Amino acid sequence: MFKVGIVGGTGYTGVELLRLLAQHPGVELSAITSRAETGRRVSDVFPSLRGRVDLVFESPGAPALQACDLVFFATPNGVAMQQAPELLDAGRRVVDLAADFRLADAREWEKWYGTPHTSTEWLGKAVYGLPELNRDAIRGAQLVANPGCYPTAVQLGFAPLLRAGVVDPLHLIADAKSGVSGAGRKAELGYLFSETSDNFKAYGASGHRHFPEIRQGLARIAGGDVGLVFVPHLTPMVRGIHATLYARIRTETDFQALYEAHYANEFFVDVMPSGSHPETRFVRASNFCRIAVHRPQGGDTLVVLSVIDNLVKGAAGQAVQNMNIMLGLNETEGLCQFPQLP
């Protein structure tokens, strides 16, 4: 039985991690920290976990973390790069759910996040944790950078095309929509019910922090430069990512067969039958990504629809998937929950 801990367990990804780990047969949840909730019982903060999680929130840097085999950081951007190195230097393994170790270039980090990176040594050692594309490297990693929610849906959607070289990598468009929980558990005017309900809007069209992560990942897949337009949108729902992806065809092939073959052995990626339109509710509260491929009017543009739950496959579920790989557990262990419908 492996011991695991969570740093920063009071946000949406933190409580989702708690929900998944409390049901995991191969690990013992042995430590959780929170600066704001230190001394309070987890079940008092999250009554949904009563009878399942018998822990008290400890202060950051709790000694119990040093006894863990693996520690998750479910903290705001900029925290893990300051606190994780102490655990890493002590031999602990870490999965960071924030963006601290996702970008390989420290200058790119500073450009998009507005602050210098304080752990460039570990930035160079971090492994990008998208299992379907990077499983072998994750297996031996000490530090895994868990991908963002938009980057997960977009990269899984484009990957078969870029690996096969059948579309123009310099003309890619990602039109993606997210539920409000993607903004985090915070009280801000723009995310109040009366502001988001019955409303739909684009944001970050001139530049979003997930853009460099997506571009970096797609370039690695393509083996060269990519041209990407990425526009995120906020939708009046709690969970879900729906990415509509566009690519110009340059080589004729059976695109449905290409996707089916590419993901044939991937438990968490479901290529739906030709003509399907996946919906976010088809993956709600699950670790699955569902994909459909379309070629409108038989033209030269391919449309790929990719849906995930932003809190599970886009965050906590993928983090547990990475943990399973790192610890030598069955990759699907603790993650086989069916999506919730309705």
pLDDT in tens, 26-46: 999 999 999 989 999 999 999
Residue 12 three-state SS: helix
pLDDT at 184 over 80: no
Structure tokens at 159: 């990957």
- Closest of 307, 245, 238, 311 to residue 279, by C-alpha: 307
Average pLDDT over residues 184-197: 81
DSSP codes of every residue in 252-303:
---HHHHHHHHTTT-TTEEEPPTT----GGGTTTSS-EEEEEE-GGG-SEEE
Residues 6+ apart with CB under 8 A from 336: none
Q: Are 179 and 235 in contact (CB under 8 A)?
A: yes
Residues 6+ apart with CB under 8 A from 270: 263, 288, 289, 290, 291
| Domain 2-125: CATH class, spelled out | alpha beta
Least confident of 147-156, 194-203, 254-263, 317-326: 194-203
Give percent of the chain with pLDDT exceeding 70: 100
Per-chain mean pLDDT for the chain: 96
Q: Which pLDDT band, with edges at 50, 70 and 90, does 60 fall under?
A: confident
Torsion sign, CA atoms 2, 283, 293, 146: negative
Cis status of the peptide bond prior to 342, with omega within 30 of 0? yes
Q: Could you tell me the CATH superfamily of domain 150-309?
A: Dihydrodipicolinate Reductase; domain 2 (3.30.360.10)
- Quote the CA–CA distance of 264 and 267 in Å, as a whole number: 8
Tens-digit pLDDT profile for residues 210-233: 999 999 999 999 999 999 999 999
Every domain of the chain and the residues it spans = 2-125, 150-309
Q: Hey, how many other C-beta atoms are within 10 angstroms of the C-beta on 68?
A: 22
Whole-model pTM? 0.96
One-letter amino acid at 273 equals P
Average pLDDT over residues 115-125: 95
pLDDT at 61 over 90: no
Task: Please say if 289 is a catalytic residue.
Answer: no
Given 68, 149, 289, 336, which residue is catalytic?
149
DSSP codes of every residue in 110-148:
HHHHSS--S-HHHHTT-EE--HHHHHHHHHT-SEEEPPP
Q: Hey, how many other C-beta atoms are within 10 angstroms of the C-beta on 170?
A: 12
